[in-house]
A and B are shown apart, each in its own frame.
Chain A
Amino acid sequence: MLQSVFVIFLFQLVGEMVQKYFALTVPGPVIGLVLLLLAMLATDRIGNNPAAQLKQSLVVTAETLLGHLPLLFVPIGVGVVMHITLLEGQLAAVLGVIFIGTVLTVGFSALLMEKLQGRGDDNG
Chain B
Amino acid sequence: MADEQKLYSIWVYLQAEPLFWLTLTIGAYLVGDYCYRRSGLFPLFNPVALGIIIVSSVLLLFDIQYERYFDGAKFIHFLLGPATVALAIPIYRKWDLILKHSKAIVTTVLLGSCFAILITWGLATLFGLEREILLSLLPRSVTAPIAMGVSEIIGGIPSLTAIITIITGIIGAAFATFTLDLLRVRKMSARGFAIGLASHGIGTARAMSRNETAGVFAAVAMGLSGIVTALIVPLMIFLLQI
Contact = CB atoms under 8 A, between A and B. Distances in A.
A52 interface: no
Given A78-B73, A107-B194, A8 B86 contact: yes
Interface in A72-106: 72-84, 86-87, 90, 93-106
A48 interface: no
Interface string B199-218: 10110111011011111000
A75 B77 contact: yes
A96 B183 contact: no
Contacts of A11: 85, 88
Interface in A99-124: 99-114, 116-117, 122-124
21 contacts: A15-B85, A25-B146, A26-B227, A29-B85, A32-B88, A40-B89, A61-B86, A65-B82, A70-B48, A70-B202, A71-B25, A71-B29, A78-B69, A82-B59, A97-B120, A97-B127, A101-B120, A104-B119, A105-B112, A106-B175, A113-B187
Interface in B82-107: 82-93, 95, 97, 101, 103-105, 107
Given A29-B80, A86-B159, A122-B188, A98 B47 contact: no
A122 B98 CA distance: 10
B163 A84 contact: yes
B193 A110 contact: yes
Main SS class of interface, B:
helix
Contacts of B167: 80, 95, 98
Nearest to B105: A113
A93 B128 CA distance: 8
A12 B104 contact: no
A99 B209 contact: no
Contact of A37 (B92, B144, B163): B92
The size class of the interface chain B forms with chain A is 35 or more
Interface of A is mostly: helix
Given A82-B59, A107-B183, A109-B198, A102 B172 contact: yes
Contact of B84 (A29, A116, A124): A29
Q: How large is the interface on A (under 10, 10 to 19, 20 to 34, 35 or more residues)?
A: 35 or more
Given A40-B88, A105-B115, A29 B66 contact: no
B116 interface: yes
B213 A74 contact: no
Nearest to B90: A62
Contacts of B26: 71
A104 B104 CA distance: 19
B108 interface: yes
A74 B137 contact: no
B201 A73 contact: yes
A75 B70 contact: yes
A29 B81 CA distance: 5
A47 to B, nearest CB: 19
A10 B148 CA distance: 25
